[in-house]
Amino acid sequence: GAGVSQSPSNKVTEKGKDVELRCDPISGHTALYWYRQRLGQGLEFLIYFQGNSAPDKSGLPSDRFSAERTGESVSTLTIQRTQQEDSAVYLCAESGGSPLHFGNGTRLTVT
Amino acid sequence: GENVEQHPSTLSVQEGDSAVIKCTYSDSASNYFPWYKQELGKGPQLIIDIRSNVGEKKDQRIAVTLNKTAKHFSLHITETQPEDSAVYFCAAGDSNYQLIWGAGTKLIIKP
């Protein structure tokens, strides 16, 4: 997706390790989303940031998952004590009152 | 909970023929219905969307129809081309924030 950069593009980690995924959205766009996409499945909402409002964390699957955003810029998604079921593509999307613009995702593989 | 069912999961059509993908949603309050195309290794990209105040919308070879009474909507692609090969996702909600996503349709265009 043009303008939304995610890193790393691929991450292989051992079960039990912590990982941090990064999203650099288009500057000035206030809404930012994280989604999880398991192989062959649709998008699963994780968390939503909107300006200075409290984030909507209702989609986070467990307390091992957390996310932060600094103002209206970079966001990081952290998964602690990774499990094999965390293996998926993690997508970041932003919206400035327009359709969602997605990054290309981070493919996480937990071995 | 609310859900969106998408069919078929895989669709193979001859180049030049038409393709139709169908989605059914459960939340009668939904009024926004986007379709996204996801190419391999990339994030989803919006190709067309429709709101509940219209029954059909067309953009060149792509059209979307909506039947609010039956709570289903469809994507129609005419004169299919090799570059149409991708995974297509439907979604339903009342804004980008509250979208519920279908599981996706893998469209294969046979030469």
Candidates B57, B51, B56; CA nearest to B33 is B51
Q: Find tokens 């980008």 and name the residue.
A: B96
* Mean pLDDT on A87-111: 92
Per-residue pLDDT of chain B (111 residues), as tens digits, is 789 999 999 999 999 999 999 999 999 999 999 999 999 989 999 999 999 888 999 999 999 999 999 999 999 999 999 999 999 999 999 887 778 999 999 999 999
Q: Tell me the shortest Cα–Cα distance from B44 to chain A, in angstroms.
A: 6
A43: chain B residues, CB-CB within 8 Å: 44, 89, 91, 101
Burial class (CB in 10 A: 0-12, 13-18, 19+), A97: exposed
Q: Around Cβ A57, how many Cβ atoms within 10 Å?
A: 13
Which residue type occupies A1? Answer: G
CB–CB of B6/B89 below 8 Å?
yes
pLDDT digits (tens, 9 = 90+) for A44-97: 999 999 888 899 999 999 999 999 998 778 999 999 999 999 999 999 999 877
Compute the half-sphere exposure of residue A72: CA atoms within 13 Å on the CB side of its CA.
Answer: 12
User: What is residue A1's predicted lDDT score, i.e. its pLDDT?
Assistant: 43
Count helices and strands in chain A by DSSP H and E runs: 0, 10
Name the pLDDT band for A98 (thresholds 50, 70, 90).
low
Which among B34, B43, B103 has the least Cβ separation from residue A103?
B43
A44: chain B residues, CB-CB within 8 Å: 101
Partner-chain contact B96 A104, CB within 8 Å: no
Sheet holding A19-24, edge to edge: A5-7, A19-24, A75-79, A65-69
User: What is residue B68's predicted lDDT score, i.e. its pLDDT?
Assistant: 93
